[in-house]
A and B are shown apart, each in its own frame.
Chain A
Amino acid sequence: MSAQATAAVPSPDVWRASQVRRRWSGWLFYGLAVVSTLMGLVMLGALLFDIFTDGARQVDWHFLSNYPSRIADNAGLRSALLGSLWMLAFTAIIAFPLGVGAAIYLEEYAPDNWLTRFIQLNIANLAGVPSIVYGLLGLGLFVRWLALGRVVLAGSMTMALLILPLIIVASREAIRAVPDSLREGSYALGATRWQMVRQTVLPSAAGGILTGTILALARAIGETAPLITIGALTYVAFDPNGPLDIFTVLPIQIFNWVSLPQKEFHSLAAGGIVVLLVVLLTANSLAVYLRYRMQRRLQ
C-alpha cells in the first residue's frame, strides 16, 4: 500500500484508535472535575460538622447577651456582635457610594485612554493587597493622623478601603453587562448622560451591584488582621453605641478565646464561629435573593 493510497482512503483503524483515546480523555477529565468539586464540598462539610458539634450548644440567648468574662460559664459575645454590626453598617455607608460611584465613572464617563487603563489595572491590583497592609494604612491614616483613635469609625474606614476594590470590580462587571442597545435607546429619546445612567443603566445593573456589595461586606465582617492592626480591643465589657466608641468584633473575640489555654474557652470560640457563620450565610442568602428578585423584575 502506497502512502498516497493511505491518504486517499484512510484505514478505519486509524479513526478507531483516536476515538478510544478521545473517549478516555473525556472520562478522565470528567472524573478529575468531579473529584475537585467533591474535595471542596467534603472540606466544607468537615469544617461545619466540627464546628457545629462543638459550638452549636454554646449558642443561646445567654451567650449572645452577655459580655466576655474570665469565667467561661458567664462569658458571651454581646459586645463583639454589636461591634461587628456597627462596623459593618458604617463600612457599608462609606464603601457603597464610593465603590458604585467609581464604577459608574470608569464605565460610563471615563475616556478610554492610558490613565483610565492605569487606574483600572491598579484597582484590580488593590483587590489582591494583603489585608494587614490596609490595617497599617488605617492605623497611620485614620487612627493617628486623623486622630480618630481606635474607634468603630476608624475600623469601618479601614474596612471600606479594603473592600472598595471588590465593590468597584463587581459593580463595573454589572454595569458592563447592560447592553449598549439600552443606552442607545435612552439617548435616542433625548436623555442626558446622567439620565441614561440613572434610569437605564443603574436599574439594570442593580442586582449585580448589590450582590457584589453584599459579598464584599461579608468579607469585611470576617476580616481580623486589619482591625487588630489598628488596635481594636480584645476585651470589651460595654456596648459600643456609635461610630466613635471603642469596639471589638467577632473574629477578634474568637481569636482571643482560642488563644486561651482552658478547654471551655475553645468551645466558646466554636460558638462564636457559629454566630459568625450565621451572620455570613444570612448576608450571602440575602445577596442571592436580591439577585433573583432583580432578575425576575427585569423579565
Chain B
Amino acid sequence: MINLRIDTRASDVAVSPSENGQSDVILMTRNLNFWYGNTQVLENIDCDIRPREVTAIIGPSGCGKSTFLRCFNRMNELIPTARIAGSVVFRNRDIYARSVDPVEVRRQVGMVFQKPNPFPKSIYDNVAYGPRVNGYKGDMDEAVETSLKRAALWDEVKDDLKKSGLALSGGQQQRLCIARALAVQPDVLLMDEPCSALDPIATTRIEDLIRELREQLTIIIVTHNMQQAARISDRTAFFTVAESGAGVLVEFNDTQKLFTTPTDPRTEAYITGRFG
C-alpha cells in the first residue's frame, strides 16, 4: 500500500540560483531536511547540480544517499511517514510548492532503480509506457526505437520487440529501464545504484552508456562503488552520518579533486578505505 502524506508549502516563491552567483545550475537544494516519522534522515543539505554533468553521490550505508536522490523527483512522498522541509529547486521553481504536480516533476526528472524493474509487458510496451501515460501524440514506433537506441539496447532487441521485458538478462533489463526512462525525454536522470545487481560486463556497458548520455542530459547517480564514481562522474558529493544520526553532505567537489585532495578528514578516511 502506498500513501501520500507530505507537507507542501503554500508559497510558490521561485528561488533564483543567481543568488550565489552560480547561473548554470539545473537543480539545487537549500536547507533540505528530511524525516521518516521522527527519525531525521537528512540534515541541512545545500547542493547545486550542474546541467549535462554526471554527479555521483557516495557515502556509507544509511547516510541518506538514496533518500536524497528521491527528493529530486518527489518519490519519497510515496512513503507514508515521510516529511520534508527546505526547498528543492528545479529550473528556478520549487518542486515542492503546492502548485506543482509531482506527476509533471517525474516526467522531467526520470529515475532508474537499484534492481531492474521492467514491467511484465513486452519490450515495446515497456518503453511506450511513459509516453502513453503522458499523452504522447507523436509516432510511438519512432519514440520506442529512438529510446532503445539511446540506451544502446536497440541492436539486441530490434527483432524481438514483442518479447517480454522479463525475458532479458539483468544488464539488458537495466538498459530497458533506462530506455523506458529516456522515452519521456527527461532533463535529469536519477540513478539509484543502477549497477549493484549486475555483473562486471553489464556494469561496464551501463557506465559507457552513462558517459554517452551525459552529452544530452543531467545525471545524478548514487553508487557504493568509489571506483565507479571516479570513472564516470564529473563531480562527486560525499555524504556521511552525523553524530545526530542524520545524513549530512560533507564535501562536494570536482571528482578528481575530491578523490585526490579531499579537504575534509572524513572524506579522506572514507575514500582511503579507513571508514565505511
Contact = CB atoms under 8 A, between A and B. Distances in A.
Which of A183, A190, A195, A203 has the most chain B CB within a 10 Å cutoff?
A190
B104 A200 contact: no
B3 A112 contact: yes
Given A107-B1, A184-B117, A203-B120, A298 B133 contact: no
A298 B130 contact: no
Given A189-B181, A190-B134, A204-B120, A111 B3 contact: yes
A186 interface: yes
Contact of B78 (A187, A200, A299): A187
Contact of B106 (A107, A190, A203): A190
A224 to B, nearest CB: 38
Contacts of B118: 185
Interface in B1-52: 1-3, 5
A187 B118 CA distance: 13
Interface stretch (B108-116, B148-156, B254-262): B108-116
A195 B110 contact: no
Q: Looking at chain A, what size class is its interface with the partner chain?
A: 20 to 34
Contact of B129 (A107, A184, A189, A299): A189
A190 B184 contact: yes
Contact of B133 (A176, A184, A192): A192
A190 B104 contact: yes
A179 B118 CA distance: 11
B113 A112 contact: no
Contacts of B134: 189-190
B164 A299 contact: yes
Interface of A is mostly: helix
A182 interface: yes
A142 to B, nearest CB: 34
B119 A200 contact: yes
A180 B166 CA distance: 16
Contacts of B111: 188
Contact of B2 (A180, A188, A191): A180
A108 interface: yes
Interface string A111-142: 11000000000000000000000000000000
A204 B118 CA distance: 12
B117 A181 contact: yes
Nearest to B80: A112
A188 B73 contact: yes
A290 to B, nearest CB: 16
B3 A181 contact: no
A190 B107 contact: yes
Contacts of A184: 75, 78, 113, 117
A297 B121 CA distance: 8
A107 B130 CA distance: 23
A189 B184 contact: yes
A53 interface: no
A199 interface: yes
B129 to A, nearest CB: 6
B166 A108 contact: no
Nearest to A106: B1
22 contacts: A107-B1, A112-B1, A181-B117, A184-B113, A185-B113, A186-B119, A188-B75, A188-B113, A189-B106, A189-B107, A189-B181, A189-B183, A190-B106, A190-B130, A190-B184, A191-B129, A199-B129, A199-B132, A199-B133, A203-B121, A297-B120, A299-B120
Interface of A: 107-108, 110-112, 176, 179-192, 195, 199-200, 203-204, 297-299
Interface of B: 1-3, 5, 73, 75, 78, 80, 103-104, 106-107, 110-111, 113, 115, 117-121, 129-130, 132-134, 164, 166-167, 177, 180-181, 183-184
Please provide the 9 A-B residue pairs with the shortest distance between their CB atoms, ordered closest to farther. Answer: A190-B107, A189-B130, A298-B120, A188-B111, A181-B117, A191-B133, A190-B106, A185-B117, A195-B133
